[in-house]
Structure 1
Amino acid sequence: MSEIFPWTPAAIVFDCDGTLMDSERHWQDARDHVLREYGVTPTEEFAEQSKGVHYTECGRLMAETAKAPSLAEEMTEKLLRAFRTLVAENPVTTPGAREVVARTAEFAPLAVASNCPRDVVEEGLETAGLLRHFSHVVVPSREVRPKPEPDVYLRAAAACGADPQDCLAVEDSLCGIRSAVRAGLRVLGVGPRPDRESLAMADHWVRSLGDRSFLCWVESRALLGAAR
């Protein structure tokens, strides 16, 4: 079996929600809960439109969908409260995440680049026993624009001491893939139902982090690192 990437990244930058933590469903449930509170029935189109975007942008989209743009801040606050509750009740990793993180940490520095609040990211990863493997967690701030802008990936690569073009991003959403590509990283896309644009932009795509071809690549890189 040929390797999916014939090179060892200088650093690997993971998205969190939907990629490492099975929490994209929590975001969707939280969005649905808030929208229904305002008398709106969520649609599949809205679910795709809001996937992976910064939570403040999601609040704005929800307010527009509810035809109440002035309530964007209020809906954003309710969205975050609902999401935090759901994550606290059921913090679950995605298939293959534990093994992949542990093994990739043996041959490359790891970082997380997320659109979520820092405390949500770190608490989820800590509960899952994964946070200790990551050297850096990068989230939007006053100086760092959220995905799909490239800032979080550029900051993550720099924090790991690597050039973006030598790094691998691991992403599940179109928003995140756009961010990583704009930053110059190579991209592994993850998920069972990628859209056309995501497939076109990613360097390789797997259904989950537990994909056999990806795990074989991770193992081969880990063994090469150990042999050095």
Structure 2
Amino acid sequence: MQPAVLFDLDGLLIDSEPIWEAAKSEVFGAFGLHLTQEMQTETRGMRQRDMVAYWFKRANIQADPADIEDKIVNGVCDMLRDVKLMPGAEQAVAACARVSKSMAVVSSSPESVIRQALESTRLAQSFDVVFSAEDDEFGKPHPGAFLRAATTLQIPPDECVVLEDSLNGVLAGVSAQMAVIAVPDEDNRGDPRFAIASLILDSLEELDPGDIGHVLSTPTRAR
């Protein structure tokens, strides 16, 4: 069986979390909301509209949420021109391409951010299609974006393997009834909730092509 492999983007393939954090800090800071590192972690993996709505509910921000979102996304796109790949990302993409039927990026980021990142890192040609949850009714941890990807690729969910770094993304992949390989960042590796993934890696450098077939045949989501 040749599966579809669905990659998240931010924090998994590209080292963009510092970029997002810098853009959010700058934009929200101008309106009196100063985000700490802990506060930034609270919204990791969310769509931008959901992240903006999250902070508007918790702070007195006198601004148009859509304007805040646009400023953050524009700032991120500008900084993505110099974005670096995460360790092992290029090799992992190449390895998955050899054992998969289709490859896609499924991200909470706007499509403009996804495409800018893939062009900047020269990974655009490695993927058959990209999916943004930007215009979905619900973002991750809702499984909608992953299910839409499977439908478009004409591959059943149980023949899809998801690679994710955030808990929201892992929850979305498991809810979609897909095999999930989690690659949490160092600060979150001890979170027991990641145990629902089929496989947990410290880095994409640890990914072996054989892992793709292994997680599809694993009867349990914990390891």
Aligned residue among 59, 70, 73 for 2:52? 59
RMSD of aligned residue pairs (Cα, Å): 2.3
Residue of structure 2 equivalent to 1:226: none
Aligned residue among 173, 179, 198 for 1:203? 198
Q: How far did residue 171 of structure 1 move?
A: 0.3
Q: What are the equivalent positions in structure 2 for 1:1-228 lying under 5 Å apart?
A: 10-68=3-61, 71-88=64-81, 90-108=82-100, 109-140=102-133, 142=135, 145-190=138-183, 191-194=185-188, 196-211=191-206, 214-215=207-208, 217=210
Q: How far did residue 92 of structure 1 move?
A: 1.3
Q: How far did residue 32 of structure 1 move?
A: 1.2
Q: 1:38 to 1:176 in 2, by over 3 A?
A: same
Q: 1:219 to 1:71 in 2, by over 3 A?
A: closer
TM-score by length of 1: 0.83
Return 5+ residue gaps in structure 1 as ranges. 1-7, 222-228
Return 5+ residue gaps in structure 2 as ranges. 215-223
Where 1:193 maps in the other structure, the secondary structure is helix
Q: How far did residue 118 of structure 1 move?
A: 1.2
Q: How far did residue 200 of structure 1 move?
A: 2.3
Partners of 1:177 and 1:187 within 8 A in 2: yes
**How many residue pairs end up in the alignment?**
211
Where 2:133 maps in the other structure, the secondary structure is coil
TM-score by length of 2: 0.85
Q: 1:189 to 1:131 in 2, by over 3 A?
A: same
Task: Report the residue type matching 1:209 in the other structure.
Answer: L
Q: How far did residue 220 of structure 1 move?
A: 9.2
Percent sequence identity over matched residues? 27
Residue of structure 2 equivalent to 1:224: none
Q: How far did residue 148 of structure 1 move?
A: 1.7
Partners of 2:170 and 2:194 within 8 A in 1: no
Q: How far did residue 166 of structure 1 move?
A: 1.9
Where 1:152 maps in the other structure, the secondary structure is helix
- The Cα offsets for residues 175-228 of structure 1, whole Å up to 9 and x where unpaired, read as 1112111111111111323252542221211111012xx23636999xxxxxxx
Q: Structure 1 CA distance, aligned partners of 2:47 and 2:137?
A: 12
Task: Report the residue type matching 1:192 in the other structure.
Answer: E
